[in-house]
């Protein structure tokens, strides 16, 4: 079955499929995540608790319902693959979780094994090696990943190839304007020391309060010490969409300013320049800025 999806040579290591990659930036990023895989699991996480976490997140819950059954799904940069596992639970979809970081995938695959989740394949590899066949997937999810690569636009182009016609993708990236508040926090932590992060970063504060030490470490590491990071704008991503035959469907934050996530796949108005600037700057003053200024675009392949 996997031969129908992965076009390069791979080795089998337990439940993992390993492809060789040599890109220096990818090796550097994989090394970065080796000791602090992202996102971390809380102690005693179960299939049920993962399902509850996914259902609490209105975006993942909506997308999972929208996908339905009997589909091929790819998550690019799945890390420990919590989202992929959530999408796999309770249906017959065929999920591929791709990430270069061995330790992250291993955690995901152990979880799948212990919880008897069988419809997911964990593939170690690099998006730049273009390891999948074209037009294979009904949904491609890639969030929090491309801004940690050396050429996000090229990586986007590659992942668009994997989508079938009328297939959907979700892309999540750090926003150039919406991440300003995080950059300010990072700057302050350099002047006043790391301890100040606990006072000024709402996510870190909450994780600390709830004694989620490993999640806390992995958040601080990812947000404050990443070796490769870029930020992006609405305008730029609209251009990527146009260049790769992807129709804009909706964004988070949304152009109708409502941010209710129960119609994410209904086509919204395309953000114009004024709309975009307002939405992006505004991210600094709401939960988007609190959580690092990540924005999402959903598109459909024409
Ligand atoms: C911040 S983590 C995000 C993990 C997951 N997507 C999430 O949102 O929880 C970034 C992930 O991107 C992966 N990544 C970095 N470079 C990559 C590349 N060239 N190809 C595929 N994945 C990559 C890293 O290994 C890491 O697991």
Written as one string, the DSSP assignment of 75-118 is EET-TT-HHHHHHHTTS--EEEEEES-HHHHHHHHHHHHHTT--
Nearest atom in ligand 1 to 77's CA? 22
Q: 79: CA distance to ligand 1 center in Å?
A: 5
* Ligand 1 lined by 30 (C-beta under 6 Å): yes
Q: What pLDDT was estimated at residue 1?
A: 83
B/e letters for 8-20, b = 16+ CB within 10 Å, e = fewer, are eebeeeebbbbbe
Question: pLDDT tens-digit profile of 33-85?
Answer: 998 888 888 778 899 999 999 999 999 999 999 999 999 999 999 999 999 99
114/108 Cα distance (integer angstroms) = 10
- Walk along the chain (302 residues) and give the pLDDT tens digit of each residue: 898 999 999 999 999 999 999 999 999 999 999 988 888 887 788 999 999 999 999 999 999 999 999 999 999 999 999 999 999 999 999 999 999 999 999 999 999 999 999 999 999 999 999 999 999 999 999 999 999 999 999 999 999 999 999 999 999 999 999 999 999 999 999 999 999 999 999 999 999 999 888 889 989 999 999 999 999 999 999 999 999 999 999 999 998 877 778 889 999 999 999 999 999 999 999 999 889 999 999 999 99
Ligand 1 pocket residue status of 143, Cβ below 6 Å = yes
Closest residue CA from atom 27 of ligand 1:
79
Evaluate: CB of 29 within 6 angstroms of ligand 1. Answer: yes
Atom of ligand 1 nearest to the CA of 79: 27
What number does the ligand 1 atom closest to the CA of 222 have? 1
Domains and CATH numbers, the chain: 2-176+228-301 (3.40.50.150), 180-224 (no CATH)
Q: From the CB of 79, is ligand 1 less than 6 Å away?
A: yes
Q: Under a CB-based contact definition with an 8 Å cutoff, are residues 93 and 121 in contact?
A: no
DSSP per position, 224-239: HS-SS---B-HHHHHH
Handedness of CA 243, 245, 247, 248 (dihedral sign): negative
Please state whether the peptide bond connecting residue 39 to the residue before it is cis, i.e. omega within 30 degrees of 0.
yes
**Per-residue confidence (pLDDT) for residue 159, from 0 to 100:** 98
pLDDT in tens, 114-145: 999 999 999 999 999 999 999 999 999 999 99
Distances 231 to 151, 163, 190, 280 between C-alpha atoms, Å: 12, 24, 20, 12
Give the C-alpha distances (Å, rounded to integers) separating 192 from 21, 199, 205, 287.
Answer: 39, 11, 17, 24
CB 54 less than 6 A from any atom of ligand 1 = no
The pLDDT score that the predictor gives to residue 3 is: 86
Instruction: Give me the phi and psi of 171, to 5 degrees please.
Output: -120, 125
Query: Distances from the Cα of 219 to the Cαs of 110, 177, 197, 227, in angstroms?
Result: 22, 20, 11, 14
State the pTM of this model.
0.96
pLDDT on residue 256: 81
């Amino acid at each position: 079955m996997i031969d129908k999806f992965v076009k390069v040579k791979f080795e089998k290591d337990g439940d993992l499929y390993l492809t060789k990659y040599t890109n220096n930036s990818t090796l550097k990023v994989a090394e970065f995540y080796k000791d602090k895989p992202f996102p971390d699991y809380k102690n005693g996480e179960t299939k049920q608790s993962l399902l509850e976490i996914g259902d609490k997140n209105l975006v993942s819950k909506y997308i999972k319902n929208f996908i339905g059954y009997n589909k091929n799904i790819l998550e690019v940069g799945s890390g420990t693959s919590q989202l992929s596992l959530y999408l796999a639970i309770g249906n017959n979809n065929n999920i591929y979780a791709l990430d270069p970081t061995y330790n992250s995938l291993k955690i995901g695959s152990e979880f799948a094994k212990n919880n008897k989740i069988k419809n997911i394949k964990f593939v170690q590899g690099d998006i730049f090696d273009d390891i999948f066949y074209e037009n294979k997937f009904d949904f491609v999810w890639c969030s929090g990943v491309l801004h940690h690569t050396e050429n996000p636009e090229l990586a986007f182009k590659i992942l668009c190839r994997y989508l079938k016609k009328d297939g959907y993708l979700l892309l999540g990236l750090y926003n150039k304007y919406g991440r300003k508040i995080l950059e300010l926090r990072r700057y302050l932590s350099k002047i006043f020391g790391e301890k100040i992060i606990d006072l000024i970063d709402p996510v870190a504060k909450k994780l600390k309060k709830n004694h989620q030490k490993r999640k806390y470490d992995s958040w601080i590491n990812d947000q404050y010490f990443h070796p490769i990071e870029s930020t992006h704008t609405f305008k730029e991503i609209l251009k990527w969409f146009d260049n790769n035959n992807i129709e804009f469907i909706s964004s988070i934050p949304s152009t109708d300013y409502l941010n209710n996530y129960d119609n994410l796949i209904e086509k919204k108005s395309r953000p114009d320049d004024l709309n975009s600037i307002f939405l992006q700057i505004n991210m600094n003053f709401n939960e988007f800025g609190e959580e690092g200024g990540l924005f999402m675009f959903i598109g459909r392949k024409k």
